[in-house]
Amino acid sequence: TKAHYSMAQIYDEVNQIEILYQELFLKMSNFQPEYIKPAKQDVEFIKETINEGHSDILIAEIDNCIIGFILIQELITPPYTCLVEHKYAFIADIIVETKYQHQGIGSALILEAKKWAENRNLDYLELNVLSENIGAITLYEKQGFKDISHTMRYEL
């Protein structure tokens, strides 16, 4: 729970999360520079995610410094007649600071996300990943994620 945090602690965490978002967006822009650009995340978005009841930011820390996080949301499938309704967890963002990658931190964050979803009695976890991000895809596959759809694009 977040009740034990002071406002100063929350703002310090938001600042650390914002820095990691910059790393995430830079990495994504390197994979697809024609569609994604380096940017800062909206601080209000981060605060709302922390305070909102259907989403969380799960963090990994070393010496009180946030070195990685997962932003996770509880969602319901769209109300299309052809879809079976499910409540599920969506991992919107995940990042581990570059110098801490390949040390099991991403796996530990995903494990916490699985627990978060199970505690809410959700049906499954879902995420999107850029096709070029082979390292992330490998991590997700090792964690039991399966490829279920493809987004395709035709350039005009």
CB 57 within 8 A of CB 71: yes
Q: What is the pLDDT of residues 74-127, one digit of tens each?
A: 999 999 999 999 999 999 999 999 999 999 999 999 999 999 999 999 999 999
Q: What is the pLDDT of residues 42-80, one digit of tens each?
A: 999 998 888 888 999 999 999 989 999 999 999 999 999
The label of the residue with tokens 């976890």 reads 125
For helices 105-119 and 134-142, give the axis angle rounded to 10 degrees: 50
Question: What confidence score (pLDDT) does residue 53 get?
Answer: 87
pTM: 0.89
CB 125 within 8 A of CB 113: yes
Question: What confidence score (pLDDT) does residue 50 get?
Answer: 85
Residue 9 predicted with pLDDT over 70 = no
SS3 96: strand
- Mean pLDDT, range 139-156, rounded to an integer: 95
Q: Which two tokens stand for residue 75?
A: 């969602």
